[in-house]
């Protein structure tokens, strides 16, 4: 979604600003080149790994091919995979606009998509914590004052996590009182 967004809205962030500089660029390029080479060497040199890896790849490709032959399965899968982050990014953009952030909607959408992608490396339920920190830092990187960036993230979490808990709590309470659970 981030790559599609960058192609659709190149004004959100200049592509040159996305590239690391100096040693970081060399380290990233080295990692991108060495990781597949190390995986291939491991596959070739460690014979007991070959069969499980090949079985896994065959199964994954067969399942993907089978899934994509049924539009009733793959359209909701890919549609939901694209829509979910865009809806969440829209909440961030709405809260940011309501609070008067000095950023455009495309910048706010990109900030959320970039922050959630970066925070995906940290395992946390619902991304709560890492996404919040990454989003505050991304908004601050765009020049937003830190208190305003923090307020935007708190408003986003209030609308997407805490507010939906109220109806759920009421329904659960009603189901327990009626002894349906």
- How do residues 7-65 score in pLDDT, each as one tens digit? 777 776 665 566 667 777 788 788 888 988 988 888 888 888 888 888 999 999 999 99
User: What is the rounded distance in angstroms from the CA atom of residue 160 to the CA atom of residue 152?
Assistant: 12
Of 103, 94, 100, nearest in space to 155 by CA: 94
C-alpha–C-alpha distance, residues 34 and 28, integer Å: 10
> Quick one: pLDDT at residue 155?
95
Task: Say if pTM beats, i.e. exceeds, 0.75.
Answer: no
Q: Per-residue pLDDT averaged across 77-88, rounded? A: 90
**pLDDT digit string, tens, across residues 122-146:** 888 767 788 899 999 989 988 899 9
Q: How far apart are the first and last CA of the chain?
A: 39
pLDDT, averaged across the chain = 87
Closest CA to 152 of 94, 109, 113: 94
For the four alpha carbons of 98, 137, 163 and 110, in that order, the dihedral sign comes to positive
DSSP state letters, 95-140: HHHHTT-SS-HHHHHHHHHHHHHHHTTS--GGGTTHHHHHHHHHHH
Give the pLDDT of residue 15: 56
Q: Which residue has the tokens 């109220």?
A: 166
Which pLDDT score, from 0 to 100, does residue 2 have?
72
Is pLDDT of 3 > 90? no
């Amino acid at each position: 979604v981030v790559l599609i967004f960058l192609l659709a809205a190149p004004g959100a962030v200049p592509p040159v600003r996305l590239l690391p500089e100096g040693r970081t660029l060399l380290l990233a390029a080295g990692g991108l080149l060495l990781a597949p080479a190390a995986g291939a060497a491991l596959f070739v040199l460690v014979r007991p790994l070959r069969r499980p890896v090949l079985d896994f790849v065959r199964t994954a490709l067969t399942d993907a091919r089978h899934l994509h032959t049924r539009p009733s399965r793959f359209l909701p899968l890919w549609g939901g995979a694209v829509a979910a982050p865009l809806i969440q990014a829209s909440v961030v953009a709405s809260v940011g606009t309501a609070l008067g952030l000095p950023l455009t909607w495309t910048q706010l959408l990109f900030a959320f998509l970039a922050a959630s992608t970066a925070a995906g490396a940290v395992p946390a339920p619902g991304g709560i914590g890492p996404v919040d920190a990454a989003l505050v830092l991304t908004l601050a990187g765009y020049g937003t004052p830190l208190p305003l960036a923090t307020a935007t993230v708190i408003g986003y979490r209030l609308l997407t996590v805490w507010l939906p808990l109220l109806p759920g709590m009421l329904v659960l309470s009603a189901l327990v009182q009626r002894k349906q659970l």
